[in-house]
Amino acid sequence: METLLEQIESGKLWQFPGGIHPPEQKTLSNQQPIARLPLPDKLILPLKQHIGANGSLLVQSGEHVLKGQALTAPGTNWSLPIHAPTSGIIEAIKPMPSAHPSALPELSIILRPDGEDRWTPLNPISDLNTLDNKQLIDIIHQAGIAGMGGAGFPTYVKADSPKPIEFLVVNGIECEPYITADDRLMREHAKEIVAGVEVLQGILKPQKVLFGIEDNKPEAIAAITAAAQHNQDILVRSVPTKYPSGGEKQLVKVLTSKEVPSTGIPADIGVLVQNVGTLFAIWQAIFEGKPLIERVVTVTGNTITQPSNVWALLGTEIKHLLDSQGFSPVEAQRVVMGGPMMGFTLPSVRIPVVKTTNCILAPDNQELAIPGDEKACIRCSACADACPQSLLPQQLQWFAKGKEYQKLEEYNLFDCIECGACSYVCPSEIPLVQYYRVAKADIREQKLEQVKAERAKERFEARKERLEREQEERQNKHKRRSAGAAPKAADKEKVQEALSRVKDKQSDKSAVQAAIARAKAKQGENGELEPDNSAIAEERAKRKAQARKYKEEKTDQSESTDKKDAVAAAIARAKAKKAAAQTAPESEPAAADDKKAAVAAAIARAKAKKEAAEDTPEPEVNAAPSDKKAAVAAAIARAKAKKAAKQAEEADESNQADASQSAQTDNTDEDPRKAAVAAAIARAKAKKAAKEAEEAGASVSEQAEAAPTESAEEDPRKAAVAAAIARAKAKKAAKEALEAGESMNEQDKEVNEPTAGSETDSSGTEQDAEGTSEQQRALSPEARKKAAVKAAIARAKAKKQAKEQEGNEPS
Q: Of the segments 160-169, 493-502, 637-646, 683-692, which one has the largest average pLDDT value?
A: 160-169
Superfamily name and number for 1-31+129-289: NADH-ubiquinone oxidoreductase 51kDa subunit (3.40.50.11540)
Q: Is the per-residue pLDDT at 460 higher than 70?
A: yes
Amino acid 52: pLDDT: 85
Q: What is the CA radius of gyration of the chain?
A: 62
Helices (H), ranges, 584-626: 594-615
Q: Report in angstroms the alpha-carbon separations of 392 from 414, 416, 533.
A: 12, 10, 122
Q: List the domain boundaries for the chain.
A: 1-31+129-289, 558-585+593-617+627-757+779-808
Partners of 235 in beta bridges = 210
Residues in CB range of 752: below 8 A, 6 or more apart? 672, 675, 676, 679, 787, 791
| Tens digit of each residue's pLDDT (9 = 90 or more) over 72-128 | 999 877 899 999 999 999 999 999 999 888 888 999 999 999 999 999 999 999 888
Name the least confident of 248-262, 514-528, 606-620. 606-620
Q: Is the pLDDT of residue 803 over 50?
A: yes
Alpha carbon distance 396, 415 (integer Å):
11
pLDDT of residue 496: 78
The pLDDT value given to residue 747: 42
Q: Is 387 annotated as a binding residue?
A: yes
Average pLDDT of the residues of the chain: 78
Section 420-433 average pLDDT: 93
Query: What number of CA atoms fall less than 13 Å from residue 110's CA on the CB side?
Result: 14
Helices 276-283 + 181-188 axis angle, to 10:
40
Cis check for the bond before 95: say yes or no (omega within 30 of 0): no
pLDDT above 90 (res 543): no
> Is pLDDT larger for residue 504 or for residue 434?
434
How confident is residue 772, by pLDDT bands cut at 50, 70 and 90?
very low
Asked if residue 178 lies in contact with residue 361, where contact means CB atoms within 8 angstroms, the answer is yes
Checking 123-126 for CB contacts under 8 A at 24+ apart, the result is 123/289, 124/286, 124/287, 124/288, 124/289, 125/286, 125/287, 125/289, 126/287
Residue 422 among known ligand-binding residues: yes
Using 50, 70 and 90 to split pLDDT, how confident is the model at 630? low
Lowest mean pLDDT among 341-350, 552-561, 738-747: 738-747
Q: How many CA atoms lie within 13 A of 116 on its CB side?
A: 11
pLDDT at 135: 94
Average pLDDT over residues 316-321: 95
Least confident of 104-108, 533-537, 597-601, 680-684: 597-601
State pLDDT tens for residues 122-156. 999 988 888 999 999 999 999 999 998 877 899 99
Q: How confident is the model at residue 675 (pLDDT cuts 50, 70, 90)?
A: low
pLDDT exceeds 80 at position 634: no
Over residues 214-242, the pLDDT tens digits come to: 999 999 999 999 999 999 999 999 999 99
Average confidence (pLDDT) over 182-186: 95
**Number of residues assigned to the chain:** 811
State the pLDDT confidence band at 692, using cuts at 50, 70 and 90. low
175 is in an annotated binding site: no
Q: Is 359 annotated as a binding residue?
A: no
